[in-house]
Amino acid sequence: MRYLFSIVFFCFLTSCSSVRVNYDYDKATDFSSYSTYNYFSDIESGLSQLDEKRLVRVLDSTLLSKGYLLAEEPDFFINIISNEFRSSPNNAVGVGIGGTGRNVGGGVSVGLPLGNSGIQRRIQFDFVDAQRDALFWQASSESGFRENASPSVREERLRAVVKKVFSKFPPQKK
């Protein structure tokens, strides 16, 4: 019984939402040639105005700490795209009963979902070279989202997303 409880508890912990990030970039890009950035003027992020301001503020401070400056004539532009979706539980526990007797067999199995389906937010960051008008770096993050969260919780969640997304920017050459 203790073993079963440990497995269920572990599944519960792994089902908790964290920030997941996928990266892609052009390997031919020399990231050291970029030092200034700005945002597309017609950006439609899909975020509320307040969340967009929070995200831009956190993004500005993160890029500044990495040595990038906000400029009117930038080396690259940033586009932000966001959407929300309801996720289904990823984990389930199967419970089965079976039996056999001589040439007869039978069984019953039930799948029990673990965790709640929740609202997830996907935020995609596109970095576009200003001279070539070409995408050179992209990151897509997924994380849990609560519509009724307080402003401080929303900002902290966005800060966690930006920290995770930009932990590997610029990419290191191997």
pLDDT digits (tens, 9 = 90+) for 93-111: 565 565 666 665 555 565 6
Asked whether the predicted pLDDT for residue 113 surpasses 70, the reply is: no
**Composition of the chain by helix, strand, coil, percent to 5:** 30, 40, 30
CATH class of 18-26+33-86+119-174: alpha beta
Tracing tokens 């004539």 back to the chain, one arrives at 73
Asked whether the predicted pLDDT for residue 115 surpasses 60, the reply is: no
- The Cα-based distances of 12 to 66, 114, 121, 151, 173 in angstroms read 36, 7, 20, 27, 37
pTM of the model: 0.70
Asked whether the predicted pLDDT for residue 120 surpasses 80, the reply is: yes
Q: What percent of the chain has pLDDT over 90?
A: 47
d(CA 78, CA 14): 33
115 neighbors 35 (Cβ within 8 angstroms): no
Mean pLDDT computed over every residue of the chain = 80
**Mean pLDDT for the stretch of residues 118-146:** 90
Per-residue pLDDT band at 12 (split at 50, 70, 90): very low
CB atoms within 10 A of CB 21: 17
pLDDT digits (tens, 9 = 90+) for 74-83: 999 999 998 8
CB atoms within 10 A of CB 3: 7
pLDDT digits (tens, 9 = 90+) for 150-173: 889 989 999 999 999 999 898 887
Q: Domain spans of the chain? A: 18-26+33-86+119-174
Question: What are 63-72's contacts with CB under 8 Å, separation 24+?
Answer: 63/37, 63/166, 66/166, 66/169, 66/170, 67/35, 68/34, 68/35, 68/36, 68/37, 69/35, 69/36, 69/37, 70/36, 70/37, 70/38, 71/36, 71/37, 71/38, 72/38
pLDDT digits (tens, 9 = 90+) for 32-59: 999 999 999 888 888 889 989 999 999 9
Asked whether the predicted pLDDT for residue 142 surpasses 80, the reply is: yes
39 neighbors 77 (Cβ within 8 angstroms): yes
**In terms of Cα–Cα distance, which of 22, 26, 59 is closest to 132?**
26
When mean pLDDT is compared across 8-17, 66-75, 84-93, 131-140, the lowest value belongs to: 8-17
**In terms of Cα–Cα distance, which of 153, 141, 115, 136 is closest to 37?**
136
**In terms of Cα–Cα distance, which of 26, 125, 37, 19 is closest to 82?**
125
Tracing tokens 């532009």 back to the chain, one arrives at 77
